[in-house]
Structure 1
Amino acid sequence: MEKSIMIIGVHHIDNPNNGDLFSYKNEDVSSEKIQGEINELIEALKKFNPTKIAIEIEKELDEDIKNDYVNFLNGSFKLGNNEKHQIGFKLARELGLEKLHCVNWNKAQNDVPNISQWVSEHYCPSWDKLKAEMEKEILERQEYLNTHTIKEFIIKLNEKKSTLKDHQFYNKLALISNGDNPIGAQWVAKYWYYRNMIIYKNIMEILEYDEERILLIIGGAHVHLITQFFSENSDCQVVDAIPYLSN
């Protein structure tokens, strides 16, 4: 049996101020209602029976996260409200895993332009149009989140039309320029694509054995590219998450 990966795109459930261009507003994660919805999601993900769980935390923090997880198992670490703890840690405990694997990369690079600053300082109708399109999409998703469970919302986030819509935002962002200054293409190529390729590389490094089953829990915007990279690798099968979440 070949190595496999199931990619779960999630929203940041703790309402972080992390610099994301677009985000969702969530109910109190500690409430009984939301805890019940998280448990429902965990039960669905358990059916994949992953041998390893990869999470969107910087790789260099792997040992720190391992210590936090061990302390969590011992009852001496209080979970935060983020999806890495609420979904990742809890699922790993249910599966009897010894650790979680940090696979994210997100470092400042000298040759990567600050596109957020640039669009705020320059007249750019194409950015205004793109931003309005994405804000409309996020508003529609927010309305769906407000009336559905976390599992139902994550199913929606992982539908191909949603992951493609997220990817198309970056595709269009690459077209933003100022004359001979292709700032959008530079940012998308040198930061966004590069970041996702490093995440892919980090995951490949923990795929050690045949029959290995990796569950990747990551922000929904990454799903299209990460799925593409793994789909083009003949050594690893991509498992569709929707059937596991829907049944």
Structure 2
Amino acid sequence: MKKLTSLIVVLILLTSCKKQIDQTAEKNQEAGKLNRIAAPNQFIGKNKSQAMVLGVFHFSNASMDSYKKKFSFNILEEKRQAELDTLIEKIAAYRPTKILIEVNRVKYDSIINSRFEHYLSNSYSIEDKSNEVYQIGFKLAKKLGHHKVYCSDATAEWFGVQLDWDNYDGEEYMKSRGQYLKANRYDYNAIYRMHDSLKTQQSLTDHLIMLNHPESRLKDHQAYLTGTILAGAGDNYLGADSVGKWYRRNLRIFANAYDLTDFENEERLLLIYGSGHVWQLRQFFMDSPDYDYVEPNDYLTE
């Protein structure tokens, strides 16, 4: 009887130990799954693409930005054309597989690519076209043997507070809210004026090296976060909505870039955009699991 009792106790102990071992193994297996999910590279694509955003100033002085250009620049001059050749040679070393330009994708992609096809066949001249879309985008794409350029810009409709814009005085409104002095304690226009002036004194490559330096781009981005965003805080949030509209446009540009990327191949995207776009687009590419971001100055300074 004692032997039977001892045997039963042993069996119970063995069963209990096995159950504990199974539970521990199950927990370890689950923890392993969680660790794999938490691992930084878990969701990285097997063929990550590269992306570079080349920030430029608008050669044709379209004056679409809040700062209106005061210094003239003619990319079509012989001296500037020679500088442009140097710039294109440097960027070509990156060997982009697709060139994305600052033109509305939905409205103009077919129009622009019709022009590009004719440009390749020498039946469309860009000798009088100063816009960087033609002077950098078309020329670089032709040099690299591309058969297409990619319009990737997008509009971002206003979705914020509705005001009587014809009679709205932003300065007076911010003064009435006690926000004007705080919003203008940094003189960003002085930076814009300096850059505007330097483009006439520096070579094209040297000027773009300055514009594409991460510290320059951060300072430009900070203008939205120290001045623009403050307007209407605690009331109609006009400034925050304005910054949101800017983010919305850049997110749409990034969405276009993502849509145009073939992740089954080793893509190297080059986006040619006004330098004000660089900080946000750069951040989106750097935060994405599918891209390695390439600094343009790594090539411009070679």
Deviations along 1:208-242, whole A, 9 cap, x unmatched? Answer: 13310000000101111111111111111101111
Matched, 1:89 2:138: yes
Matched, 1:188 2:243: yes
User: In 2, distance between residues paired with 1:49 and 1:202?
Assistant: 20
Change (3 A) 1:92 1:23: farther
- How far does residue 140 in structure 1 lie from its aligned partner after superposition? 1.8
Matched, 1:74 2:121: yes
The more displaced of 176-185 and 204-213 is: 176-185
- How far does residue 155 in structure 1 lie from its aligned partner after superposition? 0.6
The question of whether the paired residues in 1 share the 8 Å contact of 2:96 and 2:269 is answered with: yes
Aligned residues: 244
2:198 partner letter: Y
Change (3 A) 1:102 1:112: farther
Matched, 1:213 2:260: no
* Structure 1 counterpart SS, 2:101: strand
- Map residues 101-120 of structure 1 onto 2, 5 A cutoff: 101-111=150-160, 118-119=169-170
Per the alignment, residue 21 of structure 2 pairs with none
- Map residues 170-189 of structure 1 onto 2, 5 A cutoff: 170-172=224-226, 173-177=228-232, 179-189=234-244
The more displaced of 77-86 and 212-221 is: 77-86
User: In 1, distance between residues paired with 2:159 and 2:266?
Assistant: 40
1:21 partner letter: S
User: In 2, distance between residues paired with 1:77 and 1:146?
Assistant: 29
- Deviation >4 Å, runs of 4+: 112-118
The question of whether the paired residues in 2 share the 8 Å contact of 1:53 and 1:216 is answered with: yes
- How far does residue 108 in structure 1 lie from its aligned partner after superposition? 3.2
Q: Which has the higher contact order (CA 8 A, sep 6+)?
A: 1
Change (3 A) 1:118 1:204: farther
- How far does residue 196 in structure 1 lie from its aligned partner after superposition? 0.5
User: In 1, distance between residues paired with 2:162 and 2:58?
Assistant: 25
Contiguous gaps of at least 5 residues in structure 1:
none
Deviations along 1:168-193, whole A, 9 cap, x unmatched? Answer: 0111211222651211001111x101
The question of whether the paired residues in 2 share the 8 Å contact of 1:10 and 1:219 is answered with: yes
Cα root mean square deviation, aligned = 2.1
Change (3 A) 1:113 1:244: farther
Matched, 1:157 2:211: yes
TM-score normalized by structure 2?
0.75
Deviations along 1:107-158, whole A, 9 cap, x unmatched? Answer: 433546689965256354248726x712100122233222111111111001
Deviations along 1:57-107, whole A, 9 cap, x unmatched? Answer: 001111111101001112222221101110000000000001110110124
The question of whether the paired residues in 2 share the 8 Å contact of 1:54 and 1:101 is answered with: yes
The question of whether the paired residues in 1 share the 8 Å contact of 2:75 and 2:81 is answered with: yes
User: In 2, distance between residues paired with 1:65 and 1:236?
Assistant: 27
The question of whether the paired residues in 1 share the 8 Å contact of 2:113 and 2:148 is answered with: yes
2:150 partner letter: H
TM-score normalized by structure 1?
0.91
1:84 partner letter: V
Contiguous gaps of at least 5 residues in structure 2:
1-46
Matched, 1:22 2:63: no
Change (3 A) 1:63 1:122: same
User: In 2, distance between residues paired with 1:54 and 1:129?
Assistant: 35
* Structure 1 counterpart SS, 2:272: strand
User: In 2, distance between residues paired with 1:168 and 1:111?
Assistant: 21
Per the alignment, residue 11 of structure 2 pairs with none
Per the alignment, residue 223 of structure 1 pairs with 278
